[in-house]
Amino acid sequence: MSDQHKDWQELASQLRVDSIRCTTAAGSGHPTSSLSAADLMAVLMSKYLRFDWGDPRQPNNDRLIFSKGHACPLLYAMFKAVGAISDEELLMLRKPGSRLEGHPNPRVLPLVDVATGSLGQGLPIGVGMALNAKYLDKLPYRVWVLLGDSEMAEGSIWEAFDKAQFYKLHNLVAILDMNRLGQRGPTDLGWDGGTYAHRAQAFGWHAIEIDGHDLTAIDQAFAEATSSGERPTLLVARTIKGRGVPEVENKEGWHGKAFDDELAKKAIAELGGVRSIQVKTLKPEPAIAAPRAKPRPFEPKVYHVGDEEATRKAYGDALVALGSHIPEMIVLDAEVSNSTHADEFKKAYPDRFFEMFIAEQQMLGATVGLAVLGKVVFASTFAAFLTRAYDQIRMAAVTGASIRLCGSHAGSSIGEDGPSQMGLEDIAMMRAVFGSTIFYPCDANQTAKLVALMAKRDGISYIRSTRGKTPVIYEPAETFEVGGSKVVRRSDRDQATIAAAGITLHEAIKAHDCLAKKGIAVRVLDLYSVKPIDGDTLRRAASETGGRLVVVEDHWPEGGLGDAVLEVFAGDGGSHPRVVKLAVSSMPGSAPPEVSLKIAGIDADHIVEAVRSLL
């Protein structure tokens, strides 16, 4: 055995020992899932991974993603081996206040890029990072993704396989830790590495089958993966769950279970005891990211009051204006860019637009991968279809990524396409995301200003756009802010308040005019910032208009604008306003937009009835 192989063997044993030590100290965790991949990671970190541990955000560092995030004890053991964390910190795994949480979390541990643990997301994120290297920054770094065999059942993984080959991401290497056992027993393919390899090859990948504990084979496979031409590579590594500890090797019932003190002591002794090997990884090649154009002032397209334009078209126009203002801005779409109008950006900046086709989970994964590497990313599709990628949005919030989403074709107002295309739950969905911002514009000038706010906003931001054209009611110079609203109709005689946003604001204005003819004065609020919502203006309006409030929205009653308004008053002491919620309460069908609004009970006539019922 060569000295290098002895070093790898010792390092792999240290990684196994430390994975056991920290999980036993925590009393929980996934030691057996960590033990199976230790040999793979020992070779990777000591010979192939190029990373400056003193500068984890160095642009040309390789990126390493543990898609099987539950194996993070192994990742943390690697951090100890390179001196990035101390042994004392390693043993703080899963303890309150520790940076080493039960799954990797960059909010507390900057050594990792993204939060993982919800399986099936690491490879789609890796695709985004590899896109950044090849097409945007034009840097030679590689993206390494450690996959578990259980998550190979996730559709998002195969969306990533497809898009990685479409974009010929030769700089992406997926390492499949095929240890046969999932959480409750065997995986669907077990140790059938040939099928995994054939599936990858069918997607156009280069596939290599190896014994995941044969250090020579691992070394040769990594060398082959780094010279695979224009294809991404999958290493199918047959491994044994619990490798190195005979009492648990390849045995069911040990997933997610820490060893007790007695078993840990015995296992550590069998593995040769505690070590303190320090590894020097390769430094990244000196390289500079491709230069960007100089930013220009933001000059949004101007729309004139009284004209009509769809907010979805204004979204596309705003992207184009921002593209010259923010050179690091990137746009993705899910094969509906001619409807979301993200294609306007594609026409203007084709090198900064990525088509994800009908693969919403991959689109969101790539969005996160690009965002954590410093890009200002917008992604769009129909509001209804973002529900497919809700877990990716949720995990983006865990990561702390700043991403900007647009859901077009919102609500029943899209008309004849029918309910399968109608986003009727998107506000509720996005309101539930930690730290999210939600905008719902009613006209084109407002849309342009809100999209610009999104570009500078940290966290998850979402804008809801409308299919049909709506009248422009705001002057181009009008300003808007996060958490703001606009009082679009008011008098000193107002007897009730109508609160709306987007398409229903125009119905509210019609209702105001109708009521005015009957001698009934009402106030109309544009709640364009759904989250955070302008509670002060709402409270003042309710107080000044007799405590009568009608909220109207093109959304299901649950979790939308109406509930956001109710929450404003829920914590207030004293008397609350009488609130009538108008929302889509029955399943819509195909009908012209104005008929759809009427059937849903959210048109001007129904708003008039609601106001009169309060009076």
Catalytic site positions: 360
Cα-flanking dihedrals φ and ψ of residue 116, to 5°?
A: -130, 175
Whether 46 contacts 281, CB under 8 Å = yes
Q: How far apart are CA 418 and CA 356, in angstroms?
A: 25
Cβ neighbours, 10 Å, residue 290 = 11
Give CA 452 to chain center in angstroms: 20
Task: List the structure tokens of 83.
Answer: 């001196």
CB contact at 8 A, 218 and 175:
no
Spell out the residues 6+ positions from residue 94 whose beta carbon is closer than 8 angstroms to its own: 26, 27, 28, 29, 100, 101, 102
State how far the Cα of 484 lies from the Cα of 454, in Å rounded to an integer: 14
Report residue 404: phi and psi, to 5°: -125, 125
Residues linked to residue 379 through DSSP beta bridges, in sequence order: 332, 405
- The Cα–Cα gap between 615 and 209 comes to 75
User: Residue 49, SS3?
Assistant: coil
Q: Which residue spans within 25-77 are E strands per DSSP? A: 63-66
Give residue 204's region: left, alpha or beta (phi > 0; psi -120 to 50). Answer: left
Residue 47: helix, strand or coil by DSSP? helix
Q: Which two tokens stand for residue 347?
A: 């026409």
E-assigned strand segments in 118-221: 143-148, 172-178, 206-211
Residue 237 region, left (φ>0) first, then alpha (ψ -120 to 50), else beta?
beta
User: In terms of Cα–Cα distance, which of 614, 311, 596 is closest to 451?
Assistant: 311
Q: Which residues have C-beta within 8 Å of that of residue 417, sequence separation ≥ 6? A: 409, 590
